[in-house]
Amino acid sequence: MTVLVTGSRGRVASTLIELLHNAGLKVRAASKNPADLSPPGGVDTVRCDLSDPADFDTALDGVDSVFLYAEASHIETFAARARAAGVQHIALLSSSSVLAPDAAENPIAAPHLAAERALEAAAARGDVEATHLQPGAFATNALQWSWAIRAGRPVELPHPGAHGDPIHERDVAEAAFAVLTEPRLRGSSYLLTGPESLTFSEQLAILAEATGRPAASVAVTPEQWRASVADFLPEPVADALLSYWAANDGRPAPLTRTVEELTGHPARTFATWAADHAKGFHP
C-alpha cells in the first residue's frame, strides 16, 4: 500500500509519515514546497499544492490511500483525480467545528465542511471511501503564547475562562494511522478530543509548571484583542474565534474517548504536550 500524505510540513502529517514508515508502509510526502521537507530515509517527496490541480495527477500516481488536509478550493477535482488514479480511501483532517449549527457560514468551519461534503458525495457515487477526522482544539494552539512567555510578559486573553479540549498532535496522527491501516475503520466520522476540558488560564498554569517560567494572563477586551491580531488574522476569523470563546466561557467542553478507541491508549494530557514542547517557551 502506498499512502500520499499531504501538508507534510505540518506537525500531524510529519508525525503520521514517521508512523507509516516505521510500520513498513510506502509513504509519499507531499507539500507545496517539497524541497523543504526532511522525511525519514526512503520516503519519497512530491509537490502537491492543494490549490493547484496541475499537481494532482503526479502526486496521486500509484497511490492507494491519501491523508488529506481540508483545502476546499479544488476538492471535487482532487476527488475525481484520485478516483482516476485508483485511490481507494481518503482520510480527511477535518475539524469539530463542522458540527456547529452555523458551520456553513463560519469562516473556520466552512472549508472543512465543504471538503467533507465533497468527499461524501464521491463516496456516495462509489468513487472512493472517505473517513473524516474531526479534532477539537489543537494543543499546539498554545504556541501562539510562546512569544509573550519567552519575553516574560502576560498573555492577553479576551476570555481567560473559555474552555477547550486540547489534543496532542501525536494523538491525531495516531488516529489517522489507525484509520489508514485498518479497513474496518474506514467510512466514518471520528470526533477527537483531548482527555480534559481546560480553560485558557488552566492551560497557562500547566505551561508554567512544565517550563518553569511565568505564564500569567491579563484580560483584555474583545476589541483590544482584535486590534492586536489584525496584522495576521483576517477579521472574520478573529470574530469567529471571539464568538466561540464567549460561548464557551465557563462552559466545560464535551469530551470523547475516540482517541483511545482508535489507538488503544488514552489521549495524552495537556501536561504531556507542555512537557514535550517546553523548549518552545524558553528564550
Confidence (pLDDT) at 259: 98
Whether residues 20 and 130 fall in one domain: yes
Whether 159 and 273 map to the same domain: the answer is: yes
pLDDT at 83: 97
Evaluate whether residue 176 is within a structural domain. Answer: no
Same-domain status, 277 and 209 = yes
Over range 171-178, report the average pLDDT. 98
**Is residue 147 domain-shared with residue 217, that is, in the same domain?**
yes
The 10s digit of each residue's pLDDT in 85-135 is 999 999 999 999 999 999 999 999 999 999 999 999 999 999 999 999 999
pLDDT in tens, 242-277: 999 999 999 999 999 999 999 999 999 999 999 999
Q: What percent of the chain has pLDDT over 90?
A: 100
What digits encode the pLDDT tens for the residues 128-141? 999 999 999 999 99
Q: Residue 223's domain is classified under what CATH number?
A: 3.90.25.10
- CA dihedral (48, 52, 55, 60) in degrees, to 10, reads 70
pLDDT tens per residue, range 190-220:
999 999 999 999 999 999 999 999 999 999 9
Domain harbouring 92, CATH code: 3.40.50.720
Are 32 and 78 within one domain?
yes
Helix, strand or coil, per DSSP, at residue 130? strand
Question: Which residue, chain included where needed, has cell 514535550?
Answer: 276
- Give mean pLDDT, residues 157-176: 98
Q: List the one residue out of 61, 77, 73, 71 whose CA is nearest residue 26.
A: 61
Q: What pLDDT, on the 0 to 100 scale, is given for residue 177? A: 98
User: What pLDDT sits at residue 165?
Assistant: 98
Q: What is the pLDDT of residues 14-29, one digit of tens each?
A: 999 999 999 999 999 9
Which pLDDT belongs to residue 27? 98
- The answer to the question of residue 80 being in a domain is yes
**Sign (positive/negative) of CA torsion 256, 109, 32, 80?**
positive
Per-residue confidence (pLDDT) for residue 244, from 0 to 100:
96
Residues 107, 214, single domain; the answer is no
The number of folded domains in the chain is: 2
Percent of the chain whose pLDDT exceeds 70: 100
Q: How far is CA 282 from CA 57, 150, 212, 278, in A?
A: 43, 5, 9, 7
Specify the pLDDT at position 270. 98
Measured between alpha carbons, how far is residue 161 from residues 68, 154, 166 in Å? 33, 15, 14
> 9: domain range?
2-135
145 with 98, same domain?
Answer: no
> Distance between CA 8 and CA 116 in Å, rounded?
20
Q: What is the predicted pLDDT for the residue at 269?
A: 98
Q: Is residue 94 in some structural domain?
A: yes
